[in-house]
Amino acid sequence: MGVSHVLLGVLADGPAHGYDLKRAHDERFPATKAMPYGQVYSALQRLQRDHLVEIVETVQEGGPERTVYALTDAGRTELASWLEATEPAGPYAADELVRKTVTALWRGTDAADYLQRQRTVHLGRMRELLALQASVSDTTARIAVDHTIFHLDADLRWLEAAAARVADAHQVTHRGEAKA
Amino acid sequence: MSEIQFEARGVRKAYGRTEALRGVSLTIGAGEVVAISGPSGSGKSTLLLALAGLIRPEAGEIAYDGARLDDLGEAHRTRLRRRQFGVVLQFGQLVPELTAAQNVALPLLLERHDRAAARRLALGQLERFGALDLADALPGELSGGEAQRVAAARALVTGPRVIFADEPTGALDTVGGEHLLKTLLGAARDNDATVVMVTHDNRVAARADREIFLRDGVIA
Amino acid sequence: MIRLAWRLAFARGWARPALLAACTAVVSGLLLVTLAVLRLPAQPEERLLAVITDPGTRGGYAFGAALLIIPPLLLLHQVVRLGTSARERRLAALRLAGATPAEVRRIGAIEVGIPVFAGSILGLGLYRLLRLCFGGTRFGEYPSHAVHLIPTTVAPAWWETLLVILGVTLLGVAVGALASRRVIVTPLGVTRRAAAPAPRPWGALALALAVVSGLAAMRVDGPQAHTLGMAGALVAIALALLGVMALAPWLAFTAGRIVARRARTGPVLLAASRLVAEPRPAARAAAAVGGIGLVAGGASAFVADVMAMQNDDDGYYLAPVALVAVCLLGALVVVVGSLAVHSVESLLDHRRSVASLTALGVPVDTLITAQRWETGLVALPMALIGTLLGSVVYGLGPVGGPSFVWFACTIVGLTLVAALCWVAVLAAVRVVRPWTVRAADPAHLRTE
């Protein structure tokens, strides 16, 4: 359901229209990409179809027409049960980083150089996020940024472990050759 | 880039049979915040100690402000360190018999500052690190993180031009480490001080302007 | 700076400064006694023990008195090093905080100097007290006690006293400086350190030289005999001191290695491996014991001497025996003290490893047995070597050949010293039991 539950969470504080919802989402997740307006509306439509939200009023203040949405009882129940249920811990889908590294290692090319450059990129992104985190004042927003930072940290540590394992394997083969 | 403050060339150092540094060359500009990272045993701490003049490399040169640091006599280096450098290590840095406030004031007392003035400055630094209530505690009574904050306060008490920190957040959790680091880096920025820190924590490394990554005693 | 040093000197409690002061008090007191004896005219105007009255044996007596300063000096050396790792940590922390080597040296000197200076002044009082208890009696006066060991008609000159006080203070400070020299060089005293090289038996050479110069000192003849004899005796003392100090680590190391290879039980293996890993602390205690052995050996030869020349007009046959009893009792106290100091030091330095042993399930009794072995393994052989040496130097010197009495006295001396030493080991370990129990608390694993 993804972003829909976030919207339900925002609406739990009181009725809001689409634009407010988008702004609240972006504020809560400063480290992720801003949500496109279209996605907000398609999500709202789906929620309405499933009777989780309802239109309470349509206002028109000079500009375009604005529809105000509110949580239904069913929506409230859905939100509560979503918050109560735990998320599965993985498995994590292999992303491009993993695919590239593993392929490079299988190819037997010098992966160390690539790993080092990748580290620089990750560290640069982390630096940006830390600056972003320092600039937002909301605690929950900081927590959301932490999540991305910690994932970058995990990536970095994985890269480091990969480099160490490659070095270790080299040593073992060399020692094996020396013995033979 | 700002003017060069540290310049190292071909620095080597061994402990018995283990070679910690195997020819490291680098420059650090004044006011720069540099992180030294790398796997454990890669020579990070040794490089930091050599730059801070705490150990003498066996080969190579280290220049500070254009003058050789590594061939200065022990007393000269110590006085230079006392006046211009602040050092935070992982542990074993506080004098166990002195209170936290006395420990922080120690560099000032060695410089023959007035006792009352030294204590006032020390308390100010402790407050900055949120450790004012620890002022009269002995190091043995402090937790690892508290001792670290006291050590950081001492490193800043003389208003140093360079701050050296070896795993400054090692004994702290994420949030506590963040506070310490923020205070340390904030104070450094206020004084236009250079910061050289060793860390294996990527989040700490990312707070630096630049990372020096060591592997097996050389820069990767 | 002085305030800082003062604070550091007493920060760890009064035990260390008090022990330092006690050691130096004994040293300076004994030196004053020696000087007083040397000031006696050819015909003393007071009743004293025959060996003192007779100018021929007086030199030997003075030598013996000077020899007595060895155990307290060795104990001083040991006390200065007490809690070495804590001290190293403190000095290294001071260096890290920006103290220059010279400043740390100064702080260390003041730290040791204050109690040592106080001690050497107290030595003056000790000398007075000894004179009161064991002083000679003027002819014609009724003797108030049985043993007359210290002249009362003569006393050291004021400048001699001053020299003793200053000299002993300087000696104490020098020992202190020697003890902290490694830390002064590096501010990272505790982080990384290459293993110290295994000790070598160079001390045996110094001991051999001590025997030679001691024998020579006792046999000099001619007009300058007195001065030469005294100089030779001092050289012999210094060499014996150096030899005992230098030989002890090798002995500890070797004994540890041999025993570790054959150890069958946990405590023995633990004790022996500790000796191999760190022979020096145990060796310092053993050196003090060896010093006492040296004196005991000398004493047994001295008794042989006295017994040989005992004549009718010196009716107090009991005096020398009482003297020996007093000496042995004193020796027992010093040995127990020295071994206890060592055990406490070892506990302080290994708090973490002791605590982790208890955490592993090693009972405190096993730790105590290991302590007993660790101390006894070095102390016993060292005491025997010392005794033999003392007996040889003192006994073979003036007499000119091994007499039967000398031989018997030496055997008795060796047996007594061995028994005494074992009793001392048991007593010392018993004395430090509270420290052991406290050190075994796994709470020490938390910090440091």
Residue C191: pLDDT over 50: no
DSSP string, C368-416: HHHHHHHHHHHHHHHHHHHHHHHHHHHHHHHH-S--HHHHHHHHHHHHH
Arithmetic mean of pLDDT, C420-425: 86
pLDDT-derived band at C313, boundaries 50, 70, 90: very low
Contacts of B202 in chain A (CB under 8 A): 122-123, 126, 152-153, 156-157
Q: Which chains touch A (3 or more CB pairs under 8 A)?
A: B
Average pLDDT over chain B reads: 88
Across the interface, whether the CB atoms of C186 and B15 are under 8 A apart is answered: no
State the smallest CA–CA distance between residue C95 and chain B in angstroms.
8
Is the confidence at residue C415, as pLDDT, over 70?
Answer: yes
Interface touch B95/C185, C-beta < 8 Å: no
Name the residue among B209, B191, B105 with its Cα closest to residue B153.
B105
* Predicted pLDDT of residue C193: 46
Write the residue in B203, B211, B213 that is nearest to A153 by C-beta: B203
Task: Supply the pLDDT for residue C312.
Answer: 45
Residue of higher predicted confidence among A147 and C3: A147
- In this complex, the chains that touch C, judged by 3 or more CB pairs closer than 8 A, are B
Inter-chain CB proximity A130 and B206 less than 8 Å: yes
Weakest mean pLDDT among A23-32, A143-152, B102-111, C355-364: C355-364
Omega of the bond prior to C199 within 30 degrees of 0, cis? no
Average pLDDT over every residue of A161-179: 67
Q: Who has greater pLDDT, A126 or C298?
A: A126
Helix-strand-coil percent breakdown of chain C, rounded to 5? 80, 0, 20
Per residue in C294-310, pLDDT tens?
Answer: 777 777 776 666 666 65
CB-based contact A129:A145 (threshold 8 Å): yes
Stretch C39-51: mean pLDDT: 79
Span A32-57, average pLDDT = 89
Average pLDDT over residues B26-55: 91
Residue C48 has pLDDT above 70, yes or no: yes
Tell me the pLDDT band of B84, cut-offs 50, 70 and 90. very high
pLDDT at C310: 55
- Helices A3-11 and A37-49, interaxial angle, to 10°? 80
| Residue C212 lies inside a defined structural domain of this protein | no
Give me the helix-helix angle, C318-349 and C351-359, nearest 10°: 70
Which pLDDT value is given to residue C396? 64
Highest averaged pLDDT of the listed ranges A170-179, B148-157, C425-434: B148-157
> What pLDDT, on a 0 to 100 scale, did the predictor assign at position A77?
92
Residue C4 has pLDDT above 90, yes or no: no
A165 close to B (CB below 8 A): no
Q: Using one digit for the tens of pLDDT, what is the confidence trace for C72-107? A: 887 888 787 766 666 777 778 888 888 888 888 888
Share of chain C above pLDDT 90, in %: 6
Judged by CB atoms closer than 8 Å, whether chains meet at B97 and C4 is answered as no
Distance from CA of B203 to the nearest CA of A (A): 7
The answer to whether the Cα torsion of C301, C303, C304, C305 is positive or negative is positive
- Whether residue C125 sits in one domain with residue C259: no
Quote the percentage of chain B above a pLDDT of 90. 44
C398 in the same domain as C273? yes
Tens of pLDDT along C163-178?
999 999 998 888 878 7
Last residue of one domain, picked from the residues C156, C178, C194: C194
C216 belongs to a structural domain: no
Q: What domains, with CATH codes, occur in chain B? A: 4-219 (3.40.50.300)
Task: Compare A174 and A113 and report the one with higher pLDDT.
Answer: A113
Quote the pLDDT of residue C302: 67
What contacts A46, CB < 8 A, 6 or more positions away?
A4
Domains of chain A by residue range: 3-84, 96-179
How many angstroms away from the CA of B86 is the closest CA of chain C?
9
C109-126 pLDDT, tens digit each: 888 888 999 999 999 999
> Shortest Cα distance from B28 to chain A (angstroms)?
18
Mean pLDDT over the full length of chain C: 77
Residue C61: domain span: 1-194
Domain end among C174, C194, C214 = C194
Question: When comparing pLDDT for B189 and C230, which is higher?
Answer: B189
Confidence (pLDDT) at B153: 93
C194 at B interface, C-beta within 8 A: yes
The CA angle B127-B133-B137, to the nearest 5 degrees, is 120
User: Is 80 exceeded by the pLDDT of residue C35?
Assistant: yes
Question: Is 50 exceeded by the pLDDT of residue C192?
Answer: no
Comparing CA positions, the residue from B4, B40, B30 lying closest to residue B217 is B40
Examine the domain organization and report whether C263 and C187 are in the same domain: no
More confident residue, C351 or C397: C351
Model confidence over B181-215: pLDDT tens digits?
A: 999 999 999 989 999 999 988 888 999 999 999 98
A156 close to B (CB below 8 A) = yes
Please tell me the predicted confidence (pLDDT) of residue A74: 92
User: Looking at CA atoms only, how far is residue B201 from chain C in angstroms?
Assistant: 21
- Compute the average pLDDT of residues C187-200: 60
In contact, C356 and C443? CB cutoff 8 Å: no
Same domain, C183 and C291: no
Q: What is the mean pLDDT of residues C64-75?
A: 78
Interface residues on B facing C, Cβ-Cβ cutoff 8 A = 15-16, 49, 54-55, 74-75, 78-79, 81-82, 87, 89, 92-98, 103, 106-107, 109-111, 140, 143-144, 154
- Backbone dihedral region of C98: left (phi > 0), alpha (psi from -120 to 50 degrees) or beta? left
Give the best residue of A115, A127, A157, A158 to mutate against chain B (max B CB count within 10 A).
A127
Give Cβ neighbours of residue A51 (< 8 Å, ≥ 6 apart): A72, A74, A75
d(CA C265, CA C369): 10
Structure tokens at C436: 């052991």
The dihedral over CA atoms of B61, B62, B64, B69, expressed in degrees to the nearest 10, equals: -80
Give contacts of C4 with chain B, Cβ < 8 Å: 109
Tally of residues, chain C: 448
User: Does C96 contact B93 at a Cβ distance shorter than 8 Å?
Assistant: yes
Asked if residue A35 has pLDDT above 80, the reply is: yes
pLDDT above 70 (res C248): yes
| Chain B residue with the nearest C-alpha to that of C95 | B78
Q: What integer pLDDT is reported at residue B76 of this predicted model?
A: 87
Indicate if the pLDDT at residue A179 is higher than 60. Answer: no
> Distance between CA atoms of B6 and B66, rounded to whole angstroms?
8
| Long-range Cβ contacts of B107-114 (<8 Å, 24+ apart) | B107/B82, B107/B154, B107/B157, B107/B158, B107/C97, B107/C98, B108/B157, B108/B158, B109/C4, B110/B82, B110/C97, B110/C98, B110/C99, B110/C103, B111/B82, B111/B83, B111/B158, B111/C98
Fill in the amino acid letter for C69: I
Asked if residue C320 and residue C391 are part of one domain, the reply reads: yes
Check residues C270 and B30 and name the one with the higher pLDDT: B30
Q: How many angstroms away from the CA of B197 is the closest CA of chain A?
A: 16
Does A139 contact B at CB distance below 8 Å?
Answer: no
Choosing from C124, C159, C194, the residue where a domain stops is C194
The domain defined by A3-84 carries CATH number 3.50.50.60: no
8 A C-beta contact, residue A100 and residue A155: no
Q: What is the pLDDT of residue A72?
A: 93
Report whether pLDDT(A178) > 60.
no
Query: In chain A, which residues have their Cβ closer than 8 Å to the Cβ of B211?
Result: 120, 123
Q: Please give the tally of structural domains in chain C.
A: 2
Inspect the interface and report whether the beta carbons of A126 and B206 lie closer than 8 Å.
Answer: yes
Cα nearest neighbour of C92 on chain B: B93
One domain, residues C417 and C338: yes
